[in-house]
Amino acid sequence: MIQQILNENLSMLTINGVDLEIKYFIGEKNKPTLIFLHEGLGCVEMWRDFPEKLSVLTGCPTLVYSRQGYGRSSSCEVPRPLTYMQDEGLEVLPEIIRVTGIQQHILIGHSDGGSIALINAGGKPASGLLGVVTMAAHTFCEDLSISSIKLGLTAYTGGNLRAGLEKYHYDNVDCAFWGWNNAWLDADFINFNIENFLPQIKVPQLVIQGIDDPYGTIKQVESIADKSAGNVEVYMFENCKHSPYKEKATESLALIDSFMAKKCLR
C-alpha cells in the first residue's frame, strides 16, 4: 500500500470509511517510516515543513495525516468522546499502519498527538515500532492546561483564533476547535490519565518540552521518564512554549536525528 500511495500521489487515505488527509515523503529503502501525529488543533499543514525537513535529514520515509475532523479529512460529530485520544491510539492508528503496510516505524507526536503516540506504544503497538518522540505530550490533566484552554475559548469566540485556524481546517474549523475545547473543558476531563500505558512502553523515547509551556508543567515529562519501561531521553528547551517544532525547529531536528541514530537505527 505504501508503494501505491507513492505511485498514485494520494492526498487521502480511507480508513474504516473515513477519508484522512495525508502527505507522504519518499525516503530511502530499508529506513523506518516516521509517522507524525498532530496536536489538538493541528493538521497536516500546521506541521509546516518540519516533517519534510526531518525526512530529508534522516533519509526516512514520512507519513503525516490529519485526524478525522481536522484539516481536509472527513468531518466528525461533536462533542467528541472524552476517550478520543485513547480511541485514536488504540483503534485508528493501528489500522492506518495495517492498511498502509508500514513495517518499521517511529512515532512523532505533538501535544495530543504525543499522548496518542504514548497510548499506542503502551497499548497496541505494531511489531515494527522502533521508538517514540513526543513534544509537549500530556499523561494527565493539570489545572494549568485547563486555564490555558479557557483562554483559547475566549480567543476563538471573541478574537482572531477562528480566522487563523480556518486557513488550515477549512470547513472543519468548528469541528476541530469544539471537538478539542469541549473535551478538555468537560468537568469529567480532569480525570484524564494515561499513565497506565507507560510501563508497557519498552522502545526508546525522546521527550521534548518547552520550559515555558503554558499547557503542561515538567510533571508531564517526569511522569513519562519515571513510569516508562524503556530508555527515555529528556530535553527541556529554554525560551520555548508549547511548540518546539516551530519555536526551536533547528534544534528539534538535530535532537531527533541524533536520537534516532543512537537509539532506533542501530
The pLDDT tens digits of the residues spanning 109-138 come to: 999 999 999 999 999 999 999 999 999 999
CA neighbor of 147 nearest in space, from 217, 223, 218: 217
Q: What is the pLDDT of residues 151-201, one digit of tens each?
A: 999 999 999 999 999 999 999 999 999 999 999 999 999 999 999 999 999
Q: What count of Cα atoms within 13 Å lies in the side-chain half-sphere of residue 264?
A: 29
Q: Which DSSP symbol is given to 158? A: H
**Model's pTM, two decimal places?**
0.96
Question: What amino acid is encoded at 51 in this protein?
Answer: P
Per the DSSP assignment, residues forming a β-bridge with 126 are: none
**pLDDT value for 246:** 97
Q: Is 42 exposed, middle or buried (0-12, 13-18, 19+ CB in 10 A)?
A: buried
**pLDDT value for 264:** 80
Helix/strand/coil (H/E/C) assignment for every residue in 166-210: HHHHHHHHHHHHHHHHHHHCCHHHHHCECHHHHHHCCCCEEEEEE
Helix, strand, coil percentages for the chain (3-state, nearest 5): 50, 20, 35
Question: What amino acid is encoded at 31 in this protein?
Answer: K
Q: In what order do the strands lie in the sheet with 105-110?
A: 12-15, 18-25, 62-65, 33-37, 105-110, 129-135, 205-210, 232-237
With bands split at pLDDT 50, 70 and 90, how would you rate the model's confidence at 4?
Answer: low
Sheet strands (E) in 113-176: 129-135
Residue 265 has pLDDT above 80, yes or no: no
Domains, the chain, ranges and CATH? 2-264 (3.40.50.1820)
Grid cell 513519562 in the structure block, residue: 224
Q: What is the pLDDT of residues 69-125, one digit of tens each?
A: 999 999 999 999 999 999 999 999 999 999 999 999 999 999 999 999 999 999 999
Percent share of the chain, pLDDT over 90? 92
Question: What amino acid is encoded at 204 in this protein?
Answer: P
Q: For residues 233 and 235, give the distance between their C-alpha atoms in angstroms, rounded to a whole number.
A: 7
* Angle ∠(79,246,2) on CA atoms, nearest 5: 70
**pLDDT value for 228:** 97
From residue 170, give the alpha-carbon distance in Å to each of 14, 43, 176.
19, 11, 10
